[in-house]
Every structure is written in structure tokens, then in C-alpha cells.
Amino acid sequence: MAKKLNKVFIDVEVDPSVAGDVALAAKLEEVCPVNIFKGTESGVEIVEENLDECVLCKLCLEAAPAGTVHVRKLYDGTELS
Amino acid sequence: MSILLNRDTTFIVQGITGREAVNLTRECLDYGSKVVGGVTPGRKGREVHGVPVFDTVAQAVEHHGGPIDGSVVTVPPAFTKDAVFEAILNGIKLIVIVTERIPRRDVAQMVELAEIEGARIIGPNCLGLIVPDVCKMGGIGGPARDAAKSYAPGPVGVMSRSGGMTTEISSSLTQAGLGVSTAVSIGGDAIIGSAYAELMPYFEADEETQAIVIYTEPGGRMEAQLAQWVAANDSRLPIVAFMAGKFMDDEEMKGMSFGHAGTIVEGVEDTATEKIARLEAAGIRVVERIDEIPAAVKEKLAA
Amino acid sequence: MTIIEISSTWAFLVPPNWNLPILPPLRIGSAPLMRFYEFEARQIVELAGIPVTKYGFCKTADEARQAAEEIGGPVVIKSQVLSGGRMKAGGVKFADTPDEAAAHAEDILQLEINGQMPRGVLVDPKAEVKQEYYASVVWDGTAKKPLMLFSDMGGIDIEEVAETHPDHVGKGHVTNLMPIPDFEAKQTIAATGVTGSQLNRATPILAKLARLFRDYDMTLAEINPLAELTDGSFVALDAHMEMENEAVGRQKVLLRKQLEIAEDDTRETYEPSEFERNVAAIDAADHRGVIQGKDHGFSGNLGLVIGAGGGSLTLTDAVRSQNGRPANYSEIGGNPSVAKACGLAKEVLEKDGVEKIAVMMSIVSNTRVDIVARGVIKACLELDKDPAETIAIFRIPGAWEDEGFKILDRYGVEYCDRSVSMWEAAGRAVAKIQGEAASA
């Protein structure tokens, strides 16, 4: 079985200040077209294996309070804004 | 100035609420096309990028207040025939069928009805057609910004059995400073609404078009039909052809299908070698390399 | 490598002197159509109301003996394989008695022909034939209508008849929209000079054949020979049918109920390779985008991760014309996910003999450059390969190319935009792999 790599191109981080917000977590899960977010009882979880599928659509940035969701492009060091 | 489409062409999108159709509608609107309605049964009253959605073509026509010129059909294969019949029998004269994997019987029936009613079908399994800077009907060329990069107005008519290669070739003509009059993605299936020879009279009648480029593949007889048309009609238009899939002539590839549904060699006449010979016998220049097309067109235009 | 020839008198080519261009049926290779065994074609003909002789489809020697008893008189026992050359391989034998029929069936049932074990045997009477005719229906892609063919010189290759005796071949189109009228068949037959009771008996048979062709979405419906027996009656002695794959879903009543063909009985003409199966599985597991891979007939060192349909054909030619050796053929389209592009690239990279891959497409408008770039680079990384070394060239211009080029820059992969033609990109990939071989 060949190895599987995640988080090669994209990393996503949700600010600890809002990560526990169950309503936001559900919203993020709904808007992301590639299922990077998972809403749980304790808040938002990042689905590592889907990170590299990010299509840079910014829907998560729009869904969350400004500056609380960070989408980083690991290949050029920039962050989506 | 163009064939089949002009600045005033109106069309609807059947199956407009589907994922691909939503994108295609956005692209066409951005390009300046007049998308006057959409049809998805049961979704009347919605809007897709500001385009009103109806249950029937008749409602769309009524809302528009007069005949609608065209329809882009993007419904699943099992429903395509009904959608196309509906369009034709509601007076629509130009139908682009995007859907692939439609059984031949259905396609043949749609084409026969179109003939009876004086309508023209482009496709199935195609990306539609585009008149640079004027109108785009279908997903051809992609988003308006990308389409603008590949398609500039010019004297060359393009017909291609591959949607992607329509844009690749048009882009090379644009880069070479030639440009395109109208580009038609004619579709990759064994039976299509409009083969090269059937579109030639339109290009022949279009003053802006000074040369034709065709992209072709193994399988089917439409190149032989074009060669016959050229021989019989003393066309004013020089034609440059590119044949892809020559590797399929190899013994071990015989009978295998590559690329499009229609790209399957079913007899000696369908092979790349045989087609090239036929086209050349009709005075059509067949280039060996894809990047030789612009120079070959320039040469023909200068002659 | 196994390429199997389907048994058909339509062993084809259409002579150039035929004024009607027609689309002859497919014979070999990976077929985009549903093929039928002779016993199934016989059932289909029967369902359409075309007379056949008494016959038996048997799976054991005992059944064959019973069938021979019921038929009475001399019989012929035929192996049921989707393959030509049955006669030569010993798959067709004649018997005078039921015991002999059973013995032959016993042998034939154990006889492998071109790698296929028979599904059973067909037991047919040795018919008393007065005259053999030929009847078929195929698609005419130019006229976009079914085309009927009829000849009063049946039993032999139709293309041979067409060449040597064109006046003995009648051709006629069938309406797509109306119920098929008998007269269309009558005209076709009468064109060969057949008249009298023969014309009147053959007409409904050809019309029924045309109806079954249309109703069942066939790409070929052929009866050869159509026999006039000594008593003047007409029967279909041998039939050959092929159905369009696109229509299999809507022909469930015929396929599953009447012919009892299992869903997974797809009848590929050759066994798909491991590569082909793996790529198909990756494609099926994820609805985003479409990938395809074939390596049947390819054995080179340059893996091709290419697209889309037309682009793949153009690029495969471009590699070969510049003396490159492709390891495979592939297609990427419809904006696949990173995982899918990665899966295809990995499968290509893991093929025996593959040293590098070339990632090339015609200008994309739906598929995204950056997504494919991520996929192919990830494939290299997961296989512990350096993307800069492994990817000979990346030539995908179009949607999201600027983003894609950033990724490629980061990993040092050589890429180009639309100013580099598909031909030139293919040439660079070939030069790279050959340059390395030369210096090694």
C-alpha cells in the first residue's frame, strides 16, 4: 500500500475563538464543496484528507466572521483573503 | 459576418438548473449572449443568474413574446429526445445538444424531425458554437474571460469533432493573428446533427469566412462526405485539415475506441490513413502537425 | 495479447464503388457495444416473429441428445463462443444420430476456442436449402438512418458480393420516425431482381429485421443465410446481432428478462489489464471528473497523463511521431478532483517500464490547471519520486493556469503555456526521456 499524503498544498485553520461554535461549524460543513469542514457537537473539525481538494472558492471565508478562517496555500506561502 | 449566430440571437437552456448548465449560462451571459430563459420541469419561477426558469418551452416562448432562435440542451440522455422534440415543435430552429451517451436511434429521430421542421441540430456530445466577440452558445471556450483569450474575430471558420480541440486550434489561429469567423464543436458521436459537409454551405455564404480548418478523427464517413461536397460544389473556401488518432491505424489498436464514442474504426474507410488520402484527393491540405495549421491557412489565404 | 474476431460473414470493408457510404459493424477489440451469442441472436430473431428452424440450446451432452431426438434427422452442433473460427477450431460438428450428437456435444463443451469456454452448444437441423439469401440492417451515419441490405446471393461474404455482383445487392433506408412500413423492405429486395412468391415471403422478414434493429437499438442485425427451404418457406438459419452500449440500460426487458443475461456479463472483447481495471475503479469511486486509461498495445517508457478526448489522440500521435514510446493512453476531462488526477498519475507511474510522465492537455476551460498540477505532483510525492525529475513536461494551458504554474514553480517542474504547441510539448518530453537514456 503506497503512502497517502495530506496537507501538501493547502492548510486550513479555524481560529480557536470560533472553533467551538456549533452553528458556525454546521455552516462551514454546508458551504464547503469539498468537505474540508465537519460539524461536531464540540465545534468544527478539519477533515485532513480533503484539504488538498480545496478549490479556493472562499465560501468558508464568507461564511465565518472576518479573519477567523485561514486558508493557506503551502506552495507559495500566501493566505487566501 | 458569421454563421448560425449573430448579435441578436436569442436562446434558452433546457436543463438550466443542472450544475454544468448553471456554469454554461453564466459564461454565455458574461460573453454577451442573449439567454432569454431556461427550462427545467417543476422548477418554474426560479432564476438562474437572473434568467427565468420555466416548466415548458412554450412558457419560455410566451414569456419572451415571440419566437426564440435557439436552445442549448443539457438534460440527461434518457430525456434528451423529448427535450429536443419539444424545442423543435415550439419553433426553435437551432439546437445545440451537449449531452453525451444518447443512443443513436434517438439522435436519428431528432435529426429527422429537425429536417422536417427546418431546424438544425449541432451535436450531440459537443460544446456548442462561438462567434468571437459576438455570441457564444454552449460551454465552448469556457468562462468569458478565457474564451476571449482563445477566440478573436477573423477570417477562419473552424469545425471540430472535439470540443477541446476547437478551442486549441482557434487559440493558435488567434495567436497567429488570423482569428476565427465562427467555430463549431460539431460533436464526437457516430451520428451527429451537422457534419462538416452540412455546415459548408453556411460558411460558403458567409462573406467574412475566407478559409476553413477542420479537426477530425478516425471513425465514420464524414470526411468522405466533405471530400465529395468539395468536389461537387467548386467551393471558394480553402480547407486545412488536421487528423488526430493516427496511432489507431496500428494493427493492435484495431477496433478499439479512443476519445469519443464516434472514434472507432469499423472498416478500412474509417482509418486515419484512408481519410487523409480522401481529403487530399479533394484538394484539402492535411497537415501532419497540429502547430502547422496557422501557417497552412496563411499560405492558402495568400494563394 | 488477445484480439478476438467475431464470427460474421460481414468481415468487412465497404468497396469504394458503393455510392452509399455505410457504417459497417465493429469486429474486433474493445467494443462499445453489447455482443450476443448465436443462440441469443436466434432468440431475438424469433421474438421479432421471423421464422427459424427447430433448435436447441444445450448445456450438457444429454440435453444435446434430447434436442437431436426432437429435431429428428441429421443435426449440426455448434459451439457457443463470441469468437470467429469455430469451424477451424473444431467447434462445429455434424451428427446423424442423437448418440452421435451427444458425443460431439461432450467434446465441444470442453473445447476452448480463442481463450473462451463455450456457454453451451446450439443443435440445429441440417436444413434442406433451395436458395440462400442475405439480409441485414446497419446504421448509415451519413444519412442518419438505418440501412437495409438484401442479396439473393446469401451464405457468402456480403462485401465480396457487393464488389463482384453489385446488382445483386439491394440497399434501402428505413424511416426513423414512422412505424416501419413493409414497402421499404419490398423495394430493397425488388432492387435485386427477386420477384414472385420469394419477394412476398422475404418482404415481411426484412421488415421485421428492420423493426427489431430499431426497437432493440442494434448496431447490427444480420441474417445470413436467410434460407428458402425446399418447401418454399423462408427461415433464418444464422443470425448475428450487436446492440449499442448506450442503449443497454433501456433494453432491460430483452436483456435481463427474455434473454436472461446477467448484469455483470458485459462481454468485453479482451480481458482488461490491471492498469485498465485500476483506472476504471478510481474513476468509478469519485463522481468528480472523468479519467480513462488504456495500455492495450502500448509498452513504452513514457507515461501519458493527458486529455481531453481529442487532445489525447493528438498528443499520443505527437509523442509517437517524434519517436517517443508511450506506455499508455489516457484521458482526463470534466474537472476531476485532486485525488482522481493523483490516482491516474500514480497508476501510470507504477506501470512496468515507466520512467517519466508527460502531463499534457489541449487548452482547458472546465478542468482546472491547478487541480491537475496538485494531483500529478502528489502522485510523485506519494511514490517517493521527485516531481521535477519525474514529470518530463507539464503543458496544460487554460482555466486557473496562473495558480497551477505557481505550484509547478514550487516543485521545479518544467511547464509551458499555450505558446508552446502540443506537438512541441510532446517533443520536449520525448527529448528529455531519450536524453537521459543516452547519457545513462
> Which residues does residue C76 pair with via DSSP β-bridges, in sequence order?
C94, C124
B280 has a chain C CB within 8 A of its CB: no
Number of C-alpha atoms within 13 angstroms, CB side, residue C202? 36
Q: What is the pLDDT of residue C20?
A: 32
Indicate the residue type of B72.
Answer: V
Active site residue B260: yes
Averaged pLDDT, B33-44 = 97
Q: What's C351's domain CATH number?
A: 3.40.50.261
What would the grid cell of residue C146 be?
Answer: 438505418
Nearest to B103 among C146, C246, C329 (CB): C246
Q: Give the span between the Cα atoms of B73 and C95, in whole angstroms.
A: 58
Strands annotated E in B64-146: 70-73, 94-97, 120-122, 128-131, 135-137
Top-confidence residue, B259 or C186:
C186
Predicted-assembly ipTM surpassing the 0.90 threshold: yes
The pLDDT, as a whole number, for residue C9 is: 30
Report how far apart, in Å, the C-alpha atoms of C266 and of each of C36, C261, C269, C272 are: 10, 9, 9, 12
Nearest one of C292, C305, C322 to C391, comparing CA atoms = C305
User: Which chain A residue is nearest to residue C409, measuring alpha carbons?
Assistant: A75
Inter-chain residue contact B161 with C310, CB threshold 8 Å: yes
- In sequence order, the 6+-apart residues with CB closer than 8 A to the CB of B145 are B30
Higher pLDDT, B292 or C28: B292
Mean pLDDT, range B161-175, rounded to an integer? 97
Q: Who's near C38: CB < 8 A, 6+ residues apart?
A: C7, C78, C80, C122, C238, C239, C240
- All three cell numbers of C73: 434427422
**Taking the alpha carbons of B8, B14, B17, B18 in that order, is the dihedral positive or negative?**
negative
CATH code of residue C43: 3.30.470.20
User: Percent of chain B having pLDDT more than 90?
Assistant: 87
CATH value at residue C120: 3.30.1490.20
For chain B, domains (ranges, CATH) are 10-302 (3.40.50.261)
Q: Which residue of C has its CA nearest to A9?
A: C374
Q: How many helices (H) and strands (E) does chain A have?
A: 3, 5
- Same structural domain, C137 and C88: no
> Does residue C152 sit in the same domain as residue C62?
no
| C240/C305 same-domain check | no
CB–CB of A53 and C338 under 8 A?
A: yes
Share of chain A above pLDDT 90, in %: 95
- Residue ending a domain, among C102, C125, C148, is C125
Burial of A55 (0-12, 13-18, 19+ CB in 10 A): middle
Domain at A10-79: CATH architecture: 2-Layer Sandwich (3.30)
pLDDT at B252: 78
Encode burial over C405-419: b for 16+ CB neighbours within 10 A, e otherwise.
bebbebbebebbebe
| Residue B250 confidence (pLDDT) | 86
Q: What is the mean pLDDT of each run of 10 residues along chain C (440 residues)?
A: 30 30 33 84 97 95 96 95 86 96 97 91 94 95 95 86 90 96 98 97 98 96 95 95 92 95 81 92 91 93 95 97 97 94 98 97 95 98 98 97 98 97 98 79
Pair C299, C351 in one domain: yes
**Among residues C210, C243, C271, which one ends one of the domains?**
C271
Q: What Rg do the C-alpha atoms of chain B give, in angstroms?
A: 19
Q: Which residues constitute the domain of residue C226?
A: 1-53+127-271
CB contact under 8 A, B146 and C399: yes
- Pick C346's closest partner by Cβ from A2, A8, A9: A2
Give the separation between CA B264 and CA B156, rounded to whole angstroms: 29
Q: What is the pLDDT of residue C123?
A: 97
Bridge partner list, C223: C135, C239
pTM: 0.91
Amino acid C438: pLDDT: 66
**Nearest residue, CB atoms, B222 vs list C32, C142, C269:** C142
Judge if C23 and C145 occupy the same domain.
yes
Are C218 and C356 members of one domain?
Answer: no
What's the CA gap between B195 and B213, in Å, rounded? 14
Task: Give the length of chain C.
Answer: 440
Give the residue extent of every domain in chain A: 10-79
Residue of A34, A52, A72 for testing the chain C interface, max C β-carbons within 10 Å? A52
With an 8 Å Cβ cutoff, are C381 and A5 in contact?
Answer: yes
Same domain membership, residue C341 and residue C380? yes
pLDDT, tens digit (0-9, with 9 covering 90-100), for B173-184: 999 999 999 999
Which of C93, C125, C157 is the C-terminal boundary of a domain? C125
Q: Pairing relation of β-strands B51-54 and B47-48?
A: antiparallel
Pairwise CA distance, residues C272 & B25, whole Å:
39
